[in-house]
Amino acid sequence: MTATIALSRPEEDIALLTLDMPEKGANVLSSHVLTELEKHLDTLEAESERALAGLIICSGKPGTFIAGADLREFVASLDVDRQEIVDLCRRGRTLFQRLAALPAVTIAAIDGICVGGGAELAIWCDRRILSDSPRTQFGFPEVKLGLFPGWGGTVRTPRIVGLYNAVELITSGDSIGATASVEMGLATEAVAVDDLYDAAIRLIRAEDQSKQYLKDRIHWSEPIVMSETETGFLGVTASGFIQQKTRGHYPAPLAALEVLLEGSGSDIDAAGELESEQMANLFGSPVNRSLLNVFFLTDRNKKDSGLAADDVPATKINSVGVIGSGIMGQGIAAANVKRELPVVITDTCEDALRCGVQGILDEVSYNRELKGPDAKRAVHFASLLTAATHDVDLAKCDLVIEAVVERADVKKDVFARLEDQLADDAILATNTSTIPISELGADLAHPDRFLGIHFFNPVRKMPLVEIIRGKETSDRAIATAVAYAKHIKKSPIVVQDGPGFLVNRLLLPYMSEAVELLLEGATPKAIDRAATSFGMPMGPIHLYDVVGLDVAAHAGGIMLEAFPDRAIASPLVSDLVAAGRLGQKSGCGFYSYNNKKRKPEVDQELLPFVAARRKEERDITEEEITDRLLLPMLLEATRVLDDGIVEDVQNVDLGLIFGIGFPPFRGGLLFWADTLGAKTILEKLKPYEALGVRYKPTDRLLDMARTDGTFYDNR
C-alpha cells in the first residue's frame, strides 16, 4: 500500500511528518495511516533526547489538515462486539498519547480543516499553530454522528482549554476558526499560511529553551481541579441546554457531557479508559447508524453531477436574474449575493421591489458576532445587487429564475415575455413547487434551456434545491443548474418532472392526513405533538399555518387533479381560507398568532369550523397519529421510486431531510422504514385499509416483505 506519511528532516534536530493521502482530496485517519504513524513514532522515540528538538506534523494538502477518521472503516465495524470497540478506541488514544511523551516538543501545524480524529491527533501534540485562512476550522463533530471523541479528545481537551470550553466544543459538535482557537487557548497562535512552517520552527526553538511544554505535560496529565459546586452547576446548566436543543433524540451530547465531567476528576489514563468504555455504548447504536447514513448521503451528493455521464460540461454562471421580489425572490437573491454572484432582481411593483431590496440587504449584512446588520457588509454586498422594473435589465444574465405567484398562466406570461431577450446560451428556470415543468415550458422556443430550480422556504436555512428536468430539458442545462446550486452552497437533487416533484409530493399526504385526523377527533396540539415526538421540526398543523393555508390548498388541488384516487383536498382547509384564516400571515389559521411572540396558541374560534366538517369523535392514540402521518408518505415514496422521479432511495432520504427536516437521527424516511422491516410496515397498514387507496400496500412493498428485502438493498 502506498505510503501516506513522509518523514523528513528540514533541520538537523527537527523532524517533519507530512500527511498526504495519494489520490484523495483530504487526509483521513484509516487503520493503515495509524499503522504508519506508529512506525514513525517508533523511529523517533529511538533517538536520543539531544538528537531531536522538535516534531512538526503538517498536511501536504493545502486547505485540509485531517478530515477525521475513515468512516467507511467505522461502518465495517458497526457489528463487532463491545470489547473490540473498546480496544479500537484504546489503540488510537494510546498511539496519539505518545505525541505527548516524545523526547521533544510536538507541534501540529494546521492549515484548513482539522476535525474529528484529526483534531484528536492535534490535541495530543504539545502545541498547535493554525493558519489564519478562513478555511481553517478546528472541531469535534462526532456528536453529529451519534458518538463523541474516542481517541482521547474528551481527556486532553478540557485539560488544555478548561472544562467549560471543552463541554461547549465537544457537545455542540461545532467547529471554530483560528482566532477563536487562539482566544480559547487551543492554539498558540494564528499565522499566515506561508508563515506556518517558519512559525513552527520558531516555537520549537522557544520551547526548547523554556521547557514550558514539559511543565504543561505534567499539569495536563493530572485531574482538573474544580469544586463540587462548580462542577455540579456546569453539569446542570449544560444538561438542560443539551436537552432543550436535542429534545432527547440525540444521546451522544449528554453521554459526552457525562464522560467529560466524570473524567475530569481522574488522571488521564483513567479518564481515557472511561472514554473508551462509554464510547462502546454509542458505537453501532440506531442513532449512530442513522447519522452515518446521513453523512454518506451528504458526501455522495457533493460528488453527484446529477447525470449518468460525468462528461457533460456545465456552463459557469457569472450573473443571476431573479423575477419577483417576494419572500422567495428575496431569499434566492440573497443566497446568490452571499456567494459573490451579481444579481438583478425585478418586479413590476416599485414598492414591492423597494421592500425586497431592503429585505435582501438586511439578510446579507447580518453579522453573527454583532447580532445585527454590519454596515461594511451591507456596502459590499449592495454593489452586487441591481433592482429593476424592466425585463431588458435581465438580458445579460446567465441564469434567470422566476419566483412569482404559483399560477401557471402568470408564469407562462413571464416566460413568453422574457425568452427572446435572453442570450442564446442563458438558462431560464422556475421556482415552482408543484406545477409540472413540461407544462410551463410547452410554449417556449427553447425548452431545452428551461428547467425547475426549486428552492425551499426559508432559503437561508434550507439546504435542498430540486433541479427539475422537463421533457425537453438538455443535459447541459441540468449540469449547469447542479453546478450552480453547489456554488451557492446548496444541495441539489435532480428530479424528473411531475406534480409536486419529490418533496411536495411526499409532504402533502403527511399534511392532508393531519386534517383527516383532526376531523376524526384528534386535537391540533396532539397531532403536532406526535410529529415532533417522532422528531419532525414542527407538526403538520403548525406547518399549514407557516406555509399558508391558501398556498397549501392550491398545492393540494394540483395533487388531487394528478392523483384523484389517493390525494385528499379537505373542505375544512377551503372553509378556513374562505374565512380569511390563512395562517401566520393573517394572524390565525389552525392556531392563533395574535400574541407578542406570534407563537401558535389554541384558538377556540377554530372549533365551529371543525365541528361543521367533523367525521367522527373518538380518542386517538399518539401511535395511531404517528402511523397515519408517516405511512401515506412512505407509500407515496415507493410510488415515486417506481415512477422514476428520482434516481434512487438515497435521493428520497436526502431530499426529505434537507427539504422538510425529516429527523436525521432516523436516517431518512426509507432508512427508517428499513429499520422497521417491510413485514412490520404491512402489519401497521392493516388497520387503515378501509380508508382507501392511500393505505394500500404497493407492489414494491409487498415484494420486499416476501423476500425480506430492504429499500437500501435495491438502491
| Torsional class of 650: left (φ above 0), alpha (ψ -120 to 50), beta (otherwise) | alpha
Told to judge if 454 belongs to the known catalytic residues of this protein, a careful annotator would answer: yes
Element (H, E) at 412: helix 408-418
Residue for grid cell 383536498: 569
| Phi, psi values for residue 6, rounded to 5° | -105, 130
Rounded CA-CA distance 633/394 in Å is 40
Calculated CA dihedral for residues 411, 416, 418, 420, nearest 10 degrees: 160
Calculated CA dihedral for residues 47, 53, 54, 60, nearest 10 degrees: -80
The helices-and-strands tally (H runs, E runs) of the chain is 30, 19
Closest listed residue to residue 452, CA positions, set 397, 507, 396, 411: 411
Question: What grid cell was written down for 335?
Answer: 443566497
In contact, 656 and 503? CB cutoff 8 Å: yes
Report the length, in residues, of the chain. 715
In contact, 342 and 318? CB cutoff 8 Å: yes
HEC assignment per residue over 53-93: CEEEEEECCCCEEECCECHHHHHHCCCCCHHHHHHHHHHHH
Which candidate in 454, 487, 542, 554 is catalytic?
A: 454
C-alpha R_g of the chain: 28
| Phi, psi values for residue 182, rounded to 5° | -70, -45
Give the other-Cβ count within 10 Å of 171's Cβ.
24
Closest listed residue to residue 549, CA positions, set 506, 508, 593, 583: 583
In contact, 188 and 127? CB cutoff 8 Å: yes
Rounded CA-CA distance 653/59 in Å is 35
| Phi, psi values for residue 602, rounded to 5° | -55, 135
Rounded CA-CA distance 78/101 in Å is 32
Distances in Å between the Cα of 616 and the Cα atoms of 163, 516, 520, 541, 565 are: 56, 10, 5, 19, 22
Element (H, E) at 596: none
- Concatenate the DSSP letters of all residues of 420-471 into one string: GGS-TT-EEEE--SSS-HHHHTTT-S-GGGEEEEEE-SSTTT--EEEEEE-T
* DSSP state letter for 599: -
HEC assignment per residue over 557-595: HHHHHHCCCCCCCCHHHHHHHHCCCCEHHHCECCCECCC
User: How would you classify the pairing of strands 366-367 and 372-373?
Assistant: antiparallel
Rounded CA-CA distance 635/658 in Å is 20
Q: Which residues are catalytic?
A: 454
